[in-house]
A and B are shown apart, each in its own frame.
Chain A
């Protein structure tokens, strides 16, 4: 009995330590586009609509737009939209803003919207994915725990946008 208590206690301590080490704020610039820890309270509770950040840039239709302006050394901002990726819960499409060769913004112009909890997951996950993108300046970012499909679709669409932009 004592041995069982020791083993379980040790496991709990080990698990807590592991999680504690993961809780250090990691990538630089992660704070830039980060939303507060819990998902945006206003919309998630009802889950009826998308979170404020995405609604503002939601485009009319899913057309993948070509690059505007010149490419290469120009420092003009340009917007590149990735292909629509169909996840299990609906479509996902990422649009990035490039200043020169640097990604300065990333948004989801289409997102999974199969039902209530998908929107909540997106509201939680997409801001994180965005901040990871800005920090990594590539599509080599980690999936968000609890948002497997969102992350997978996001990363694929992001990569296609980067490919289109020639980065």
Chain B
């Protein structure tokens, strides 16, 4: 059973440092190429240029985070990368907006024009500025569509297609950097280096997001074998194929699935493996929420699938400590895979708490009981809402009573975001340090 050794390198810190170094290099480029500033007009224009350079760099970083680079997906985790991308996206859109405003203002002061007429001059007389402005509006739109308030109202599909416009925006804005940017017009080296940065990330996107899934589909021949209802609204889908051992999927990881039917072929969704794969069979368990999941229940055997992965950093690390698994609702899916994969020699060292609102929502109870018996692990089903129970079963006192010596455990939590946050808070309160609490949110 491939379970990873403990002590993974601090990749998140390394990656963030590299991003910071890149930003410093961009600032150095501006510093080197810019003569000393005299006067308000140059000051404002200088601010606009700095913000513009950082924006052009920031956009590349954002795309790179989402390029599905295997070391990032494994070492940092898909959910964390998505959070970084979201936060970074808001920041970069702010940078771009600042760039636009300062350039207009700076040029207006320098040329002694009104801001309104300078805007018209910039749009009509300077090369590629009109395209770049369109790009700006597109990105503002994408930002609006991605805001939390919007995502609550929009379907995943709408948000996804709106987000694709970022590629168009980047293409539109690219040329004005070289045509109008003072750091680039007189320096071939700067243009070459900047282009190399863009080309590299574009190549990564093409390779990892387009070609690799196709290669994998050809190699492994993912096909739907059967669909089995597990509970009301929840189905398991069995995927057959060949050579799954080469995927090296670890328990707790997920794949992105694209089912090739007329309705489902246009998007891919992430679902965790609910059991460790055999060399020719995999199982995922899906909750019927939204159009996509509803259609999954009606999948016909023989449907071809394109699967990308494995992704996810939510996998057990063999630190030698006792393990506590907390699952809520359909979060039992990766937890169950982990549960089965933990070595038998950890007898007495495994506890699983399964939180569900209703008995009929409990999945895999027979499998879980069998695994627990096999490993002499402790299984606790905690069923019912907090109102029904009369107390919060994830409160620190209750957890500590349930799990003796809780503060020495390594904990893994997976469930709906609210429950996950509450559980993590309780575990922290019980004395488990942040580094020993692993979780994955299904928000992305």
Q: Known contacts A7-B91, A44-B111, A152-B186; decide if A26 and B36 are in contact (CB<8 Å).
A: yes
Given contacts A25-B38, A121-B111, contact A143 B121 (CB under 8 A): no
User: Cβ of B330: which chain A residues have Cβ within 8 Å of it?
Assistant: none
B46 touching A41, Cβ below 8 Å = no
Q: In the bound complex, do residue B36 and residue A24 qualify as a contact, i.e. CB atoms below 8 Å apart?
A: yes
User: A40: shortest Cβ distance to chain B, in Å?
Assistant: 10
Question: If the complex has contacts A4-B90, A117-B121, are A148 and B180 also in contact, measured as CB distance less than 8 A?
Answer: yes
Which residues of A2-33 have CB atoms within 8 Å of chain B's CB atoms?
4, 7-8, 11, 15, 18-19, 22-27, 30
Question: Which B15-64 residues have C-beta < 8 A from chain A?
Answer: 27, 31, 33-43, 45-47, 49-51
**Count of chain A to chain B residue pairs whose CB atoms are closer than 8 Å in the complex:** 108
- Known interface pairs A88-B127, A142-B34; A18-B111 also in contact (CB < 8 Å): no
Instruction: Name, among A18, A34, A37, A41, the residue most crowded by chain B CB atoms within 10 Å (CB to CB).
Output: A37
Pair B47/A19 contact, Cβ less than 8 Å: yes
Q: Does A78 make an interface contact (CB < 8 A)?
A: no
Query: Contacts A143-B186, A145-B49: A26 and B35 contacting too (C-beta < 8 A)?
Result: yes
A28 CB to closest chain B CB (Å) equals 12
- Quick one: CB contact mask for A43-55 with B, threshold 8 Å, 1 for yes? 0110000000000
Query: With A4-B90, A115-B125, A146-B110 given, is the CB distance from A37 to B35 under 8 Å?
Result: no
Contact B125 A41 (CB under 8 A): no
Within 117-164 of A, Cβ neighbours of B (below 8 Å) are at 117, 120-121, 124, 128, 132, 141-149, 151-152, 155
Interface centre among B36, B90, B113 (most CB of A within 10 A): B36
Q: In the assembled complex, how far is the CB of residue A165 from the closest CB belonging to chain B, in whole angstroms? A: 22
Whether A144 pairs with B182 at a CB distance below 8 angstroms is yes
Return chain B residues, CB-CB under 8 Å to A128: 35, 38
CB distance from B50 to the nearest CB of A (A): 6
Cross-chain contact A19 with B110 (CB below 8 angstroms): no
Known interface pairs A7-B91, A26-B36, A39-B111. Does A18 touch B50 (Cβ–Cβ under 8 Å)? Answer: yes
Query: A39, B112: Cβ atoms under 8 Å?
Result: yes
Of A27, A88, A124, A149, the contact of B36 (CB 8 Å cutoff): A27
Is the Cβ of B110 less than 8 Å from the Cβ of A8? no
Asked if A68 is at the interface (CB within 8 A of a chain B CB), the reply is: no
* A23 partner, pick from B33, B36, B91, B107, beta carbons under 8 A: B36
Q: Are B49 and A25 in contact (CB under 8 A)?
A: no
Q: How many residues on A have C-beta within 8 angstroms of the other chain's C-beta atoms?
A: 42
Contact code string B77-109 (vs A, CB < 8 Å = 1, else 0)? 000000000000011001100000000001101
Which of A8, A142, A148 is B35 in contact with, Cβ under 8 Å? A142
CA distance A132 to B35 in the complex (A): 9
> Which residue of chain B has its CB nearest to the CB of A30?
B36
Note all chain B residues with C-beta closer than 8 A to A147.
182
Dominant secondary structure of chain B at its interface with chain A: helix
Question: In the complex the two chains form, is B49's CB within 8 Å of A15's CB?
Answer: no
Specify which of B41, B46, B182 is in contact with A143 (CB 8 Å cutoff): B182
CA A23 to CA B42, docked complex, whole Å: 9
Residues of chain A lying within 8 A (CB to CB) of residue B182 = 143-148, 151
Cα distance, A155 to B95, chains bound together (Å):
32
Q: How far, in whole Å, are A147 and B33 apart by their CA atoms in the complex?
A: 13
| Min distance, Cβ A154 to any Cβ of chain B, angstroms | 10
- Interface check B185, CB cutoff 8 A: yes
* Chain A residue nearest in CB terms to B178: A148
The CA of A69 and the CA of B340, in the complex, are separated in Å by 95
Q: How far is the CA of A120 from the CA of B106 in the complex (A)?
A: 13
**Complexed CA–CA distance, A155 and B107 (Å):** 22
Would you call B186 and A148 a contact (CB within 8 A)? Answer: yes
B33, A142: Cβ atoms closer than 8 Å: yes
In the complex the two chains form, is A148's CB within 8 Å of B185's CB? Answer: yes
| Chain A residues closer than 8 Å to B27, beta-carbon distance | 18
Chain A residues contacting B111 (CB-CB under 8 Å) are 39, 44, 117, 120-121, 124
For A22, the chain B residues whose CB sits under 8 A away are 31, 34, 36-37, 46
Complex alpha-carbon distance, A146 and B47, angstroms:
12
Contact flags (1/0) for B167-188 with A, using CB distance below 8 Å? 0000000000000111001100
CA distance A24 to B91 in the complex (A): 30
Q: Which residues of B contact A (CB under 8 A)?
A: 27, 31, 33-43, 45-47, 49-51, 90-91, 94-95, 106-107, 109-113, 121, 125, 127, 180-182, 185-186
| 8 A-B pairs whose Cβ atoms sit less than 8 Å apart in the complex | A15-B51, A27-B36, A38-B40, A44-B112, A145-B34, A145-B182, A146-B107, A148-B185
Q: Which 8 A-B pairs have the closest CB atoms?
A: A37-B39, A26-B36, A148-B185, A142-B35, A120-B111, A145-B182, A23-B37, A143-B186
Q: A18-B27, A44-B111 are in contact. List 17 more A-B contacts (CB 8 A).
A: A15-B47, A15-B50, A19-B47, A23-B43, A25-B36, A26-B36, A30-B36, A41-B112, A45-B112, A128-B38, A142-B33, A143-B35, A143-B185, A145-B182, A146-B45, A148-B186, A151-B182
